[in-house]
Amino acid sequence: MKSLRLVVVLSSLCILISGHSERERLHDLMFKYPLIDGHNDLALQLRRFYNNELSQVDLHNVTKFATDINRLRAGHVQAQMFAVYVMCGAQEKDAVRLTLEQIDVVRRMCTEYQEFELVTSVQGLRNSEMKHKIACLISIEGGHSIDSSLPTLRMFYLLGVRSMSLTHSCNTPWKVIVFQRENNSLTHFGKAVVEEMNRLGMIVDLSHTAWDTASAVLKHSKAPVIFSHSSSYFICHHHRNVPDWILLELRKNRGVIMVNFHRNFITFRDKANISHVADHFDHIKKLIGAESIGIGADFEGAVSFPQGLDDVSKYPDLIQELLQRNWTENEVANILRGNFLRVFEEVERVRDQLSLNQPSEVQIPVEEVQNPCRLVLRPPKPKEHRQSSSSRAHHGPKGLLILAIGLLLSSFFMDE
Ligand SMILES: *[C@@H]1O[C@H](CO)[C@@H](O)[C@H](O)[C@H]1NC(C)=O
Ligand SMILES: *[C@@H]1O[C@H](CO)[C@@H](O)[C@H](O)[C@H]1NC(C)=O
Ligand SMILES: *[C@@H]1O[C@H](CO)[C@@H](O)[C@H](O)[C@H]1NC(C)=O
Ligand SMILES: *[C@@H]1O[C@H](CO)[C@@H](O)[C@H](O)[C@H]1NC(C)=O
Ligand SMILES: [Zn+2]
């Protein structure tokens, strides 16, 4: 009886110690390889709840969000791609202004809080880790943000944007939305956007695009691409997830799919937990290898999360589940950050290779973007000049008046 009690005590002590050391091993691993997450919509919440007034919130501890600095630290998050998303309703309206304002709020957040650091390169990302900072990367979510303009894309790059998803849930004039299944899903201008992103060193993000668009881009891009927040269609038949045939193309492209935790993308049932999320990782690994996987949880964007994965402090629990499923430490280190860093490095390498190329002057055909918010400035055609001077000859003062107004207008535009 006594010895039995001893055995019980000893074995429970063993479980305690091994459990403890397992948890320690996990935290050591994540300390060594802290997470780079592909997608977080905190900036959207700052607009919704605080009208982007950062002075109204303390980002160390925001209980109504799933993301704050304390919990990012607890979750071993070292870098976060912050989406600067504006609603599709802003397309053909003020999408560019709204995007600028979202970039502003991320830039402010990442400079005003000393725990954060805005980074725009692989080197910057690595340095921020040495300094124990949380690196902020800026990504545009939805090509409508550039209003079909490559110069606008370039200016966003100058402001620090290093990734853009080509569509959200609206068609851009040059892409096809997620719901459509057409073959002509990348137009001439769409190809120019991909080429210009390759030239600039901006990561192409295919989350939200139609599958055929994704496939067309995978064929066209010179650099590896990412799905910043999408999961496996094989495991959960949701159109936002990625089917196996595209995953196979992604492997050829050497890109990465960063798995989304949104409950609707994990399982159609009401209940989802960490095991269901791990199933997505297992399936993708089996199909295209662990070197093609990352994490893009979609906190603040998605509305509901699996049990046990409901805020940014919970990533270690998923990693523990993967280790229990016999993922090696090397595989885990790669999905935490190694794979994303490899893609980003290759994107920079392609940029360097293309450094002799001039900025693209490709423009979208005017008839594809006709809307009242778009002003087209063209000098008057020479023929019209002749017409107006002849009208002066024939109509005297009235013709002169028209000419004067014309001159006034053109000098007004020249001053701009
Ligand atoms: C965060 O704020 C809540 C109240 O809003 C408080 O109850 C909690 O203790 C705070 N947590 C930390 C870690 O400061
Ligand atoms: C799309 O597919 C249809 C039918 O296969 C074909 O007729 C059409 O030319 C294709 N369009 C493009 C742009 O490839
Ligand atoms: C998740 O739920 C399934 C039942 O749907 C169950 O078999 C599994 O053990 C659960 N996993 C965790 C980690 O709770
Ligand atoms: C992990 O590996 C161990 C020992 O090699 C084995 O007993 C166990 O069944 C494996 N677990 C899974 C989920 O494959
Ligand atoms: Zn999204």
Q: What's the mean per-residue pLDDT of the chain?
A: 87
Q: Is residue 28 part of a domain?
A: no
pLDDT at 79 (0 to 100): 98
Q: Is residue 19 part of a domain?
A: no
pLDDT at 188 (0 to 100): 84
pLDDT, mean of residues 76-85: 97
pLDDT at 179 (0 to 100): 37
pLDDT at 393 (0 to 100): 44
Ligand with smallest separation from the Cα of 270 = 3
Q: Which residues does ligand 2 sit against, CB inside 6 Å?
A: 183-184
Distance 278 CA to ligand 4 centre (A): 15
Residue 48 has pLDDT above 80, yes or no: yes
pLDDT, mean of residues 171-181: 47
Residue 396 has pLDDT above 50, yes or no: no
Which residue out of 62, 63, 64 has the highest number of ligand 1 atoms within 8 Å of its CB and is therefore the one to mutate?
Answer: 63
pLDDT at 415 (0 to 100): 38
Ligand with smallest separation from the Cα of 70 = 1
User: To 5 degrees, how large is the angle CA 95–CA 99–CA 105?
Assistant: 150
pLDDT, mean of residues 166-181: 53
Q: Is residue 395 part of a domain?
A: no
State whether the beta carbon of 363 lies less than 6 angstroms from ligand 3.
no
pLDDT, mean of residues 318-343: 98
Which residues pair with residue 85 across a beta bridge? 141
pLDDT bucket at 142, cuts 50 / 70 / 90: confident
Which residues pair with residue 256 across a beta bridge? 226
3: phi then psi, degrees, rounded to nearest 5: -65, -35
Residue 52 has pLDDT above 70, yes or no: yes
Q: Is residue 398 part of a domain?
A: no
Among the atoms of ligand 1, which is closest to the Cα of residue 60?
14
pLDDT at 68 (0 to 100): 98
The amino acid at residue 135 is A
Rounded CA gap, 259 and 228, in Å? 8
Task: Write down how long the chain is.
Answer: 416
Q: What is the SS3 assignment for the chain?
A: CHHHHHHHHHHHHHHHHHHHHHHHHHHHHHHHCCEEEEEECHHHHHHHHHCCCHHHCCCCCCCCCCCCHHHHHHCCEEEEEEEEECCHHHCCCCHHHHHHHHHHHHHHHHHHCCCEEECCCHHHHHHHHHCCCEEEEEEEECHHHHCCCHHHHHHHHHCCEEEEECCCCCCCCCECCCCCCCCCCECHHHHHHHHHHHHHCCEEECCCCCHHHHHHHHHHCCCCCEECCCCECCCCCCCCCECHHHHHHHHHHCCEEEECCCHHHHCCCCCCEHHHHHHHHHHHHHHHCHHHEEECCCECCCCCCCECCCCCCCHHHHHHHHHHCCCCHHHHHHHHHHHHHHHHHHHHHHHHHCCCCCCCCCCCCHHHHCCCCCCCCCCCCHHHHHHHHHHHHHHCHHHHHHHHHHHHHHHHHHHC
pLDDT, mean of residues 237-261: 97
User: To 5 degrees, how large is the angle CA 71–CA 203–CA 39?
Assistant: 25
Q: Is residue 370 part of a domain?
A: no
Q: How far is CA 379 from the centre of its chain?
A: 39
State whether the beta carbon of 21 lies less than 6 angstroms from ligand 1.
no
Rounded CA gap, 304 and 284, in Å? 23
Region of 67 on the Ramachandran plot (φ > 0 left; ψ -120 to 50 alpha; else beta): beta
Q: How far is CA 289 from the centre of its chain?
A: 22
Atom 9 of ligand 1, residue of closest alpha carbon: 61
State whether the beta carbon of 11 lies less than 6 angstroms from ligand 1.
no
pLDDT bucket at 370, cuts 50 / 70 / 90: confident
pLDDT at 379 (0 to 100): 84
Q: Which domain holds residue 285?
A: 35-354
Region of 360 on the Ramachandran plot (φ > 0 left; ψ -120 to 50 alpha; else beta): beta
Least confident of 65-79, 81-95, 102-116, 263-277: 81-95
pLDDT digits (tens, 9 = 90+) for 335-344: 999 999 999 9
Rounded CA gap, 55 and 394, in Å? 66
Atom 2 of ligand 3, residue of closest alpha carbon: 273
- 357 within 8 A of 199, measured Cβ to Cβ: yes
pLDDT, mean of residues 211-234: 95
Question: What's the structural domain count of the chain?
Answer: 1
Atom 11 of ligand 4, residue of closest alpha carbon: 325
State whether the beta carbon of 325 lies less than 6 angstroms from ligand 4.
yes
Cα-Cα end-to-end distance for the chain: 94
pLDDT, mean of residues 105-122: 98
pLDDT at 386 (0 to 100): 53
Distance 101 CA to ligand 1 centre (A): 29
Q: Is residue 284 part of a domain?
A: yes
Instruction: Report the catalytic residues.
Output: 39, 41, 141, 168, 208, 229, 298
Q: Is residue 389 part of a domain?
A: no
| Better-predicted residue by pLDDT, 378 or 194 | 194
Q: Is residue 27 part of a domain?
A: no
| Better-predicted residue by pLDDT, 376 or 7 | 376
Ligand with smallest separation from the Cα of 62 = 1
Among the atoms of ligand 2, which is closest to the Cα of residue 183?
1
- 163 within 8 A of 202, measured Cβ to Cβ: yes
pLDDT at 353 (0 to 100): 98
| Better-predicted residue by pLDDT, 337 or 182 | 337
Residue 323 corresponds to which tokens in the numbers above? 């280790």
Residue 399 corresponds to which tokens in the numbers above? 């013709």
Atom 11 of ligand 2, residue of closest alpha carbon: 184
Long-range contact set of residues 118-123: C-beta below 8 Å, sequence gap at least 24: 118/160, 119/79, 120/160, 120/162, 121/348, 122/341, 122/344, 122/345, 122/348
pLDDT, mean of residues 5-10: 66
Q: What's the CATH code of the domain at 274?
A: 3.20.20.140
